[in-house]
Structure 1
Amino acid sequence: MLRSSKIIYSNSHFKKKINFTPLSSQRNYHNHQPPLGNEEIPHKPYGGRHIVTMLPGGGIGPELMNYVEDVVKFVNAPIDFEKCEIKDGPTLDEDLRNAIISIKRNGVGIKGTIEPNLNSLNFKNPNVEIRNKLDLFVNLTVCKSYPGITAKYKNVDVVVVRQNTEGEYAMLEHECRKGVIESLKIITQKNTMRVAKFAFDFATRFRRRKITVVHKANIMKLSDGLFLKTVKEVSKSYPHIKCNDIIVDATTMKIVSNPYDFDMLIMPNLYGTIINNVICGITGGAGLTSGSNYGSKYAIFEPACRTLGKTLQNKNIANPVAMLNATVSLLYHLKRDIYARIISEAIYKTICIDNQRTMDIGGDLHTSDMIDYLKENISLLYCEKYAGYQK
């Protein structure tokens, strides 16, 4: 049973500056702070409030987005969401265009996975189209174990940096003749250099000791060869960070047998999708970790495992933590650190200290119950540090 907690907040409740005493050394547990140095990001708020584009997507996306809105409102963060639905059908192109315009206007978005139409040869995946149109050239995932969560390995701490707009995801395919398909894999020095600099800057900022380049240059000598060569060239400007490389198939084997060998991984697009899911799988599953997509002007935050979760849809059993961690990353990106820390530490207390969890991570809570516990922990942990509330 949840403890009854009746608290009336003033409008200024979560806006006063406080000195945090973190729960433990887990403060900023998943290194959500954005690594970008571009001072044009984030866009300036309107009237002190940020407008964020919300793309609910399909599957469990819409219900999890409802909880995101609920939690953000509960902590009184200065965020307003502009919701854009993208659905398969005759309005798909218009929906996609409106969503991209919205993100360009607001500068930032949060999204669920948008369901692709696998039956249309002329259809382009909307998730990929959004990244390409906004030049979100890098995906960042910090895969870090939560203490107490049952998983294949404990104390895993691996960062995956993935090139986000090229490789096999260029979506350039054609039928040469009946029964023969060619799919083009695009690797450019320019975009590889951008993602490599991003990775080494991140490693420098967060004191990472080693970056491993994941590739298949033994077979794809030109494409992956260029990727490997370019990253190695960039590494020469960062002598304080060790740089080595490994074949992609050997990478998957080492991750599931000894993930502690890795600190940071950098790789082309398709490999990153696979490696992300493998590491999330050994650290507790798809419901915990978030991913961030960055470009020079825009950013989008989402769960790291881009799954629809259709078998969980409308059953009130989906784990909301990955989407809430995406919200934490969003708040850090907008330089609203106070609200990000509130939510992040409440998540940690709920699942690691109080052991209140959904079924996928060893608990028995429904999604709505877990959100109630989270909100109560926000109140219990932080209310006494703010003025303007009454019990």
Structure 2
Amino acid sequence: MSVITVIPGDGIGPEVIEQALVVMDGLGTGLEFDVLDHVNASTFLRTGVALSDVDFRRVSASQGTLLGAVGDPRVTSSEYARGVLLRLRSDLDLYVNHRPARLLDARLSPLRDEQRRNIDCVIVRENTEGLYAGIGGILRSGSTEAVAIDAEVNTYYGIDRVLEYAFSIARRGVCLVDKSNAVRSGGSLWQRCWAEAKQRNPDVPVTHLYVDAAAMKLVSDPASFDVIVTNNSYGDILSDLAAEVAGGIGAAASANINPHTGYGLYEPVHGSAPDIAGTGVANPLGAILSGAMLLARIGREEQARALTRAVEATVTAGRCTPDLGGDLHTKEVGAAVLAELG
């Protein structure tokens, strides 16, 4: 039996993950879920441990991990989030952050121009380097002479492999997004790897945009993009923008994957949203669609397609939480998706 690790996490994480599991069970997947419901902020505050070595071994022994959300206002340092999310991404070498953005229904688009609304793209974000590598520090901390440095790390190996993944999933083309006109050293390395990747993939249409221009185009003409590939920090920002243009971050799914090992960590993009935790209005569709991405990655493509179709039908029927214009609660949306599955 295939084992999937589940980390419900914090805030609305347990609420949305519960519905993802209900729906996945309804598909008859036969998967075994190893639920690590003790990996959360409360445990960290009590023990100082974000993710124990024992729990990491349980994660790495499974076929994949479904994560709800990490984050709690009681935790004021970055150690907890880094200890869970960044440890999993780094130690499992999940170097691709794959974030699809597709408009589920025209009524959800915030854009006026109907011809340009139908966004259907993927943001491929380099996931283990860049500004989030944790290289840097503070000199003379606490004084008026404090100096803070965060170093952006770019390696040929890291850039080359994420570009190759972007080309491998392209349908209509690949757009590199960088700021090589201002960030000289890292920018020149990305441009070198980009030139080599284009030579290896001569049949794939390519474009290049600076990150500020890409942000504007994601708003003015999002339907023109197929695959956007970029570094860690730019990808973090652009993927949230793309999710909002696609109708809202509540339905946005993502995967952190290593295409070589096949391992993946799947999570909704929305975060822990502590302001609405426990109110019953959290949107579970991002978690459910993350579950669909997991199913597709472990070879359950037909079940993944069925789940995605059920979500689309639910949204089209207006059976949604308030953020998507509906009036259903979290569990009612889960039940609606389950009903669409028959």
Please say whether Structure 1 and Structure 2 have the same fold, judged by a TM-score greater than 0.5.
yes
Q: 2:215 aligns with which of 240, 243, 252?
A: 252
- Distance in 2 (CA, whole Å) between partners of 1:124 and 1:171 is 13
Q: Which amino acid aligns with 1:200?
A: F
Distance in 2 (CA, whole Å) between partners of 1:165 and 1:109 is: 18
Shift in Å, 1:313? 0.7
Percent same amino acid at aligned positions? 26
Indicate which of 292, 299, 302 corresponds to 2:264: 299
Find the aligned partners of 2:81 and 2:101 in 1 and give their Cα distance: 29
Aligned to 1:287, the other structure's residue is in SS state helix
Show CA shifts across 1:7-48 (max 9, x none): xxxxxxxxxxxxxxxxxxxxxxxxxxxxxxxxxxxxxxxxxx
Label 1:149 to 1:50 Cα distance change in 2 as closer, same or farther (>3 A): farther
Aligned partners of 2:45 and 2:75 also within 8 Å:
no
Q: Distance between the aligned counterparts of 2:15 and 2:76, measured in 1? A: 26
1:355, distance to aligned residue in structure 2 (A):
2.2
**What corresponds to 2:236 in structure 1?**
273
* Distance in 1 of aligned mates of 2:275 and 2:339: 29
Deviations 1:75-107 (A, max 9, x none): 221111111232322434363433321221113
1:98 to 54, 61, 82: 54
Residue 157 (structure 2) aligns with: 190
Deviations along 1:330-364, one digit per CA (max 9) or x if unpaired, are 11112123322332222121111x22121101111
Which residue is equivalent to 2:63? 107
In structure 2, the partner of 1:120 is 77
What do residues 105-161 of structure 1 show as CA deviations (whole Å, max 9, x unaligned)? 113111122117763376661212210111000111111111244222431112111
Instruction: Give the secondary structure class of the aligned counterpart of 2:275.
Output: helix
Unpaired runs of at least 5, structure 1 = 1-48, 380-391
TM-score, with structure 1 as normaliser:
0.79
User: Counterparts of 1:311-326 in structure 2 under 5 Å?
Assistant: 311-326=275-290
- Please say if residues 100 and 134 of structure 1, whose CA atoms lie closer than 8 Å, have aligned partners that are also in contact: no
State the SS of the aligned residue for 1:169: strand
The worse-fitting range, judged by mean Cα deviation, of 265-274 and 212-221 is 212-221
Report if the CA contact (8 A) 2:280-2:330 is conserved.
yes
Larger radius of gyration: 1
For these two proteins, the number of residue pairs brought into alignment is: 325
Q: Aligned-residue CA RMSD in angstroms?
A: 1.8
Deviation, 1:327, is: 0.6
> Matched residue of 1:236: which SS?
helix
Match of 2:103 among 145, 154, 173: 145
Whether the aligned pair in 2 keeps the contact of 1:166 and 1:269 (CA below 8 Å) is yes
Instruction: Tell me if the contact between 1:196 and 1:266 (Cα under 8 Å) persists in the aligned partners.
Output: yes
Tell me, in whole angstroms, the C-alpha distance in 2 between the residues paired with 1:263 and 1:193. 19
Conservation of the 8 A alpha-carbon contact between 2:94 and 2:257: yes
Give the partner amino acid of 2:225: F
What's the secondary structure of 1:357's corresponding residue? Answer: coil
Q: Which of 333, 340, 344 does residue 304 from structure 2 map onto?
A: 340
Match of 1:81 in 2: 33
Matching of residues 35-46 of structure 1 within 5 Å: none
Secondary structure of the 1:101 match is helix
Report how far residue 306 of structure 1 moved. Answer: 4.4
Separation (CA, whole Å) in 1 of partners of 2:81 and 2:286? 26
Residues 177 and 99 from structure 1, CA distance in 2 versus in 1: closer, same or farther, beyond 3 angstroms?
same
Question: Higher helix proportion, which one?
Answer: 2
Q: Structure 1 residue 173: deviation in Å?
A: 2.1
Give secondary structure in 1 for the equivalent of 2:110.
coil
TM-score by length of 2: 0.90
